[in-house]
Chains A and B, each alone.
Chain A
Amino acid sequence: MDFELMINSFPKLLNAAVITLKLLSVSLIVGLFIGLLFAILRLNKNVFINKFAYGYSYVFRGTPLLVQIFIIYFGLGQIESLRSSFLWVILKEPYWCAIIAFALNTGAYTSEILRSAFQTIKPGMIEAGKSLGIPSKIIFYKIQIPIAIRQSLPAYGNEIILMMKGTSLASTVTIMDLTGVAKYIISTTFKPIEVFIVAGGIYLFMTFVIHNVIKFLEKKYSFN
């Protein structure tokens, strides 16, 4: 055991963990909006809209995240019209490509989580709102969405942890996140176990914090 290496690499890995957290938080926020949008589309009665939303979630959940990142980072640059458009400012940056891939991926899972949460809302609650004369838009925002959020908290907590692990793939497109820096240190020192313990420890700590925050929120918003 090379304890000196472990102590020396700790600050470097901690700095890299900040990038991991940045990637995670931005993609979760964007992904939440995408997920909500597609969950609403899934509940739409129009067959085409419905099928489109289903197809989106099926494709993004059925393929590896690595493929999605590579298509966006390596593949999209091939399209000439895209290269000359204003979008290229974003798409040439690996950082934004990774975030787009993560957001689309977590959006697909989130849409499934929210859809099933919407479907478990008892019709009686919506009827109660209607009989009080509340407009259906307000029923949606003030009754359906809050209940759906509460219902989906445990599953969404899992999704956050899965996404945090997913951000490690950013290292494959040259981003120096926690895994990227860990790999760099491993390949220069050939001490995989020591680096794994430190980097893995930081990941586990983040998992632990996320897990407990979700638990706290679940308690806070529980019905009883």
Chain B
Amino acid sequence: MELLAFGDTGWGDELFRATLMTIAVSITAMLIGFSFAAIFTPLKLSKFKSLNLIANVYTTVIRGVPELLVIYLFFFGGSGAIMFVASMFGYNEYIEINAFVTGSFAIGIISGAYSTEVFRGAIQSIDKGQFEAAKVLGLSKFKQFYKIILPQMLRLAIPNLSNVWQITLKDTSLISVTGLVEIMRQSYIAAGSTRDPLFFYSFAAVLYLLLTFLSMKMINKLEVKYSRGY
């Protein structure tokens, strides 16, 4: 227990901060994933074959390639790509993007591919009559989606989104290879300096279990909220 003391003697405060970092990266990645899904879900459902193809390439590639490989691509390629864009605007200095941004983007793109599939499935399982009724009521396109389709879609999507959240949360452990100090990286540091890897990695496992357990509780509440009336 001494090992977990807060302050200079133990690793409690470091691990606490690392846990907050894991939560922060997971939420950021999930939100980035949602924005990707917001772009690619309409492409998937579009009438145009070429747009479908773009979205299919995105989801197939990301879901067929290991997460670690994607992270390495971003870790080693991220600042290069940014510098390339910057050089087009005449800026030629070295740019380094921090591990939080790279990590959230890498995990976000992965999580976005899963979210896209979830949203696509949810929209496709909404009854056709709902779309027609929305049109017949003479609502604007935006209102049709925002007031009628979106609430129904969310209800159908939440159970699967909770799976995506779990995957995303666990994937953030892989960002530790880029040096971002989240649970895994902090445990690695603590294990190295105390020579007690068994304890710290087991404790990391407990922290992840706690995070998945608590987030499941919260998502269940959301699920109840969005299935009012059913």
Interface residues of A (CB under 8 A from B): 58-59, 62-68, 70-71, 74-79, 161, 164-169, 171-172, 179, 182-183, 186-187, 190, 192-193, 196, 199-200, 203-204, 207-208
Question: Which of B67, B77, B176 contacts A192 (CB under 8 A)?
Answer: B77
B218 smallest CB distance to A (angstroms): 15
Question: Which of A62, A79, A183 contacts B209 (CB under 8 A)?
Answer: A62
* Contact across chains for A66 and B174 when beta carbons are under 8 A apart: yes
Cβ of B80 < 8 Å from any Cβ of A? yes
CA distance A165 to B75 in the complex (A): 18
* Contact across chains for B65 and A203 when beta carbons are under 8 A apart: yes
* Contact across chains for A63 and B80 when beta carbons are under 8 A apart: no
Interface residues of B (CB under 8 A from A): 60-61, 64-69, 72-73, 75-77, 80, 166, 170-171, 173-174, 176-177, 184, 187-188, 191, 195-199, 201-202, 204-205, 208-209, 212-213
- Other 11 A-B pairs with CB < 8 A, given A70-B201, A74-B191: A63-B212, A64-B171, A64-B174, A75-B198, A79-B198, A166-B66, A168-B67, A196-B72, A200-B61, A200-B69, A203-B64
Residue of A67, A74, A193 most packed against chain B (CB within 10 A): A67
* Contact across chains for B205 and A193 when beta carbons are under 8 A apart: no
Closest B residue to A194 by CB, please name it: B77
In the complex, chain B residues whose CB is within 8 Å of the CB of A196: 69, 72-73, 77
B71 smallest CB distance to A (angstroms): 10
* Contact across chains for A192 and B202 when beta carbons are under 8 A apart: no
Question: Which of B60, B69, B80, B173 contacts A64 (CB under 8 A)?
Answer: B173
In the complex, chain A residues whose CB is within 8 Å of the CB of B73: 192-193, 196
B191 smallest CB distance to A (angstroms): 7
Closest A residue to B77 by CB, please name it: A192
The verdict on A192 contacting B72 (CB below 8 Å), with A59-B209, A63-B205, A78-B196 known, is yes
In the complex, chain A residues whose CB is within 8 Å of the CB of B65: 165, 200, 203-204
CA distance A175 to B209 in the complex (A): 27
In the complex, chain A residues whose CB is within 8 Å of the CB of B173: 64, 66-67
Closest B residue to A169 by CB, please name it: B68
CA distance A204 to B53 in the complex (A): 16
Closest A residue to B64 by CB, please name it: A207
Pairs A-B, 6 closest by C-beta atoms: A168-B66, A75-B198, A192-B77, A64-B173, A74-B197, A207-B64
CA distance A75 to B203 in the complex (A): 11
Residue of B76, B184, B187 most packed against chain A (CB within 10 A): B76
In the complex, chain B residues whose CB is within 8 Å of the CB of A172: 68, 177
* Contact across chains for A63 and B209 when beta carbons are under 8 A apart: yes
CA distance A64 to B198 in the complex (A): 16
* Contact across chains for A204 and B201 when beta carbons are under 8 A apart: no
* Contact across chains for A168 and B68 when beta carbons are under 8 A apart: yes
Write 22 A-B pairs (CB below 8 A) sorted by A numbering: A59-B209, A63-B205, A66-B176, A67-B173, A70-B188, A71-B201, A71-B205, A74-B198, A75-B202, A78-B198, A165-B64, A166-B66, A168-B68, A168-B69, A179-B68, A179-B69, A186-B76, A187-B76, A193-B73, A196-B69, A204-B64, A207-B64
CA distance A68 to B199 in the complex (A): 13
Closest B residue to A182 by CB, please name it: B69
* Contact across chains for B208 and A165 when beta carbons are under 8 A apart: no
Closest B residue to A58 by CB, please name it: B209
